[in-house]
Structure 1
Amino acid sequence: MPFDVYGAGNKLLLRRGHVVENTRFAEELVQRGVFIDAGQAERLAQAKNEAHPQKLELPSALRFINLSNKRLEKLLYNLSNEENAQGKLLEVVKALTYAFDINADVAIASVFLNQAAARYAVRHCIDTALVALLIARAMKKSSDDIQAIMAAALTMNIAMLRQQDQLENKQEPLTQAESEIIKTHAEKGAEILKQVGISSPAWLSYVEVHHENEDGSGYPLGAAVKAIPQDAKLLSLADRYCASISVRKYRKTLLPSAALRDVLLPDGKPSDPMLAAYFIKELGPQPPGSFVRLQNGEIGVVTRRGKASNTPIVHAFIGPRGAPLSFPIQRDTSKQLYEIRDTLSGAEVSLRFSMQQLWGSEAAL
């Protein structure tokens, strides 16, 4: 018996733990209308729950990122018709920040592994905002500064959104009209945002100068540009990094380490050493979501940043002889046997998997 059993007049018939050895006796107890102490039952149930607490399912960072993609797509393509555009765009910023807080590694991995979630023009803005958030948090920037950087990332290409979708499938060189759209989109984007009620000077400024360089090689102002705010430079580097590692039809996709070198050290030296140091430290040569081959021959995905930027945690899913493993095995690349031998492109890894297989419920769709 799981509980004490009582009969008429609260008379104790059987104590908890008594074994009823035959069905006939159990039926007789039922016919006599026996009952249990509800208080005792509740106390026992509570004790059981405390001993074996139920695991609550964690919210999914990936789900929030995908919902943000859909929400942002609807907003950007209909921005001129939206009431309170600024408030609605900042809601997307909050949703992405919440996803990042759930699991920052899933958020960064989504930049590499979640590219089919939305059209490039919108998804690239989401990716840039997440990378910018990673760096800005590491630099201990204020919440207001981070909000302005992320909002600018989400809206930086508003003036060439539809053209960007078309350019994804273009194989031939850009026409003069297309080149003009690209070169003027930052300035025109800031104007569009003003027209729909964006009032943050920082937000507008970062959109306007996110393609400018201090050496005058950027656009649209070029050599006429004044000093570029550090936050705008942070946005620019995040934008270029995400563009470099994305799969594009008209451009070679770079591995993460090559993208860092190409973006941060275009002439062999960083244009902003402090920003370059933070990008290298926080992203590293193999950020979460990148594919690697280990010294023992296994192939896997980086799932978590390690103690050092070049020793992340990897989940291997292909064995040394090229056969898929039954389940992903966690490897610490700071150990000699599991050191990273090569970084691989997605095209070199044929096995299909879901992010949930590697990160659990925090990466559920």
Structure 2
Amino acid sequence: MVDQRRLSIADIVIGEPLAWDVYGAGNKLLLRRGQVVATTRQAEDLVERGLFIDAGQADRAVQAKREAQQAATREIPSALRFINLANKRLERLLYNLGNEPDAEAKILEVVKALEYAAKINADVVIATIFLNQAAGKYAVRHCIDSALVASLIARAMKKSPEETQVIMAAALTMNVAMLRQQDVLLTKQDPLSERETEMIRSHPAQGVELLKQVGVANPEWLSYILLHHENEDGSGYPLGKEVKDISQNARILAYADRYSASVSIRKYRKSLLPSAALRDVLITGGKPADPLLAAYFIKELGPTPPGSYVRLQNGEIGVVTRRGMAAGTPVVHAFIGPRGAPLSFPIQRDTSKELYAVRETLAGDQAMLPFSMQQLWGEEAAL
């Protein structure tokens, strides 16, 4: 026996399929689920006839509709928003480090927020390094960018989650001993004084001591910070270590630090294009100083990473939004037409096709059209 209840006008939505079967006297099936009531008069007629519907079907239909409405209104997580929140959180932590209880745990919380952003959309995460440079102070944002690059390489190399987190934590805290001075140095036009040079050369060791004072005891974390300005040929600082004495994870951090700095816009110089930044970071004396790490950086970032500007063979200008199957064939959204006029909306281009192949990479000031990341990546890049 069908569990029935009387049909009401509230059960019917004009123009939409019925979500249940309709029965008449004697449990006779009159209308099947899925049929459409086209007019108000038809709906009123059904109600006036005192017809019944399957109560179980009706309850399930109401529940399904409620769930669909909830799904439609459920917020899509934004990788960009998580990164910006992590940036603000890290700024408060680093500038007040001496007064922060449980500093190590709080820094690791920032690491986890950045990891979650990468799970939402790794391409958006890479793009923020190029397109989100106005978010926060450079000194802190640079640490965030370096942590994101380092985590990308560490994951590609199959480092354990714990190891990756320690590399990221070191990136977030590598410049803690010179944050305020770094803000000043960014606007400096004159050559560095002896005191400023000494401050820069000593900041890795001083940073280690500051972190020890607030309870950071992880030896790898502290070691990566101490070594992140050492060079393979012994020309780095503060200890002048050679490659055999610099751990691979410290070199990952060092390369991520240099790459992020190279592609950032500074008041005293233009940023390097991604391909030039890779050469600047990875090549010494005409060959890679660390061929294995160089291979991973080139594979994961390449000459046109997400967030970089490109001109296509047909003359359009766009932004790389997704890494492609090969390094030279990224997915691009064009927003300026071949004759320099803005397109009505960004158009996705497959750069594996000859017409839309990447002709050249451009600096940001050559694109000359403001846009939001949300326009290109949707809700996963919403502010």
Work out whether the TM-score is over 0.5: yes
State the partner residue of 1:243.
261
SS in 2 for 1:73: helix
Q: 2:350 aligns with which of 326, 332, 339?
A: 332
State the partner residue of 2:371.
353
Matched to 2:303, the amino acid is P
State the partner residue of 2:59.
42
Question: What is the deviation of 1:174?
Answer: 1.4
Question: What is the deviation of 1:58?
Answer: 2.8
Matched to 1:153, the amino acid is A
SS in 2 for 1:67: helix
Judge which range, 76-85 or 174-183, deviates more. 174-183
Question: What is the deviation of 1:39?
Answer: 2.4
Q: 2:154 aligns with which of 136, 147, 150?
A: 136
Question: What is the deviation of 1:270?
Answer: 1.1
Question: What is the deviation of 1:268?
Answer: 1.2
State the partner residue of 2:207.
189
Matched to 2:168, the amino acid is M
SS in 1 for 2:320: strand
TM-score normalised by the chain length of structure 2: 0.87
Judge which range, 338-347 or 34-43, deviates more. 34-43
Question: What is the deviation of 1:249?
Answer: 1.1
CA distance in 2, matches of 1:18, 1:211: 71
SS in 2 for 1:327: strand
Question: What is the deviation of 1:60?
Answer: 0.7
- Is the 2:231–2:242 contact (alpha carbons within 8 Å) kept by the matching residues of 1? no
- Is the 2:228–2:251 contact (alpha carbons within 8 Å) kept by the matching residues of 1? yes
The answer to whether residue 35 in structure 2 is matched with residue 26 in structure 1 is: no
CA gap of 1:219–1:146, structure 2 versus 1, over 3 A, is same
Query: How big is each residue's C-alpha offset from its partner over 1:218-248, in whole Å with a ceiling of 9 and x where there is no partner?
Result: 0111258970000000100000000000000
Matched to 1:40, the amino acid is Q
Question: What is the deviation of 1:43?
Answer: 3.7
CA gap of 1:21–1:281, structure 2 versus 1, over 3 A, is closer
State the partner residue of 1:175.
193
Q: 2:336 aligns with which of 292, 313, 318?
A: 318
- Is the 1:315–1:328 contact (alpha carbons within 8 Å) kept by the matching residues of 2? yes
TM-score normalised by the chain length of structure 1: 0.91
- Is the 1:112–1:289 contact (alpha carbons within 8 Å) kept by the matching residues of 2? yes
State the partner residue of 1:93.
111
Query: How big is each residue's C-alpha offset from its partner over 1:79-135, in whole Å with a ceiling of 9 and x where there is no partner?
Result: 111111000000000000010111110000000000111110000000000000111
Q: 2:172 aligns with which of 141, 154, 158?
A: 154
CA distance in 2, matches of 1:154, 1:160: 13
CA distance in 2, matches of 1:253, 1:126: 17
SS in 1 for 2:232: coil
- Is the 1:303–1:359 contact (alpha carbons within 8 Å) kept by the matching residues of 2? yes
SS in 2 for 1:300: strand
CA gap of 1:307–1:363, structure 2 versus 1, over 3 A, is same
- Is the 2:314–2:338 contact (alpha carbons within 8 Å) kept by the matching residues of 1? yes
- Is the 1:20–1:26 contact (alpha carbons within 8 Å) kept by the matching residues of 2? no
Q: 1:271 aligns with which of 267, 289, 304?
A: 289
- Is the 2:230–2:242 contact (alpha carbons within 8 Å) kept by the matching residues of 1? no
> What stretches of structure 2 of length at least 5 have no aligned partner?
1-11, 13-17
Question: What is the deviation of 1:48?
Answer: 7.2
Overall identity of the aligned pairs, in % = 69
- Is the 1:293–1:300 contact (alpha carbons within 8 Å) kept by the matching residues of 2? yes
- Is the 2:90–2:110 contact (alpha carbons within 8 Å) kept by the matching residues of 1? yes
The answer to whether residue 275 in structure 2 is matched with residue 257 in structure 1 is: yes
Question: What is the deviation of 1:26?
Answer: 3.1
Question: What is the deviation of 1:50?
Answer: 10
CA gap of 1:192–1:325, structure 2 versus 1, over 3 A, is same
CA distance in 1, matches of 2:360, 2:37: 64
Matched to 1:42, the amino acid is D
Query: How big is each residue's C-alpha offset from its partner over 1:129-168, in whole Å with a ceiling of 9 and x where there is no partner?
Result: 0000111111111112101110000000000000011111
Superposed CA RMSD in Å reads 2.9
Question: What is the deviation of 1:194?
Answer: 0.6
Matched to 2:58, the amino acid is A
Matched to 2:183, the amino acid is D
CA distance in 2, matches of 1:310, 1:18: 52
CA distance in 1, matches of 2:79, 2:56: 41
Question: What is the deviation of 1:53?
Answer: 11
CA gap of 1:363–1:216, structure 2 versus 1, over 3 A, is same
The answer to whether residue 132 in structure 2 is matched with residue 107 in structure 1 is: no
Judge which range, 55-64 or 38-47, deviates more. 38-47
Q: 2:219 aligns with which of 177, 201, 226?
A: 201
Query: How big is each residue's C-alpha offset from its partner over 1:186-232, in whole Å with a ceiling of 9 and x where there is no partner?
Result: 11001101111001100000001100012111011125897000000
The answer to whether residue 85 in structure 2 is matched with residue 67 in structure 1 is: yes
State the partner residue of 1:77.
95
SS in 2 for 1:288: coil
State the partner residue of 1:285.
303
SS in 1 for 2:77: coil
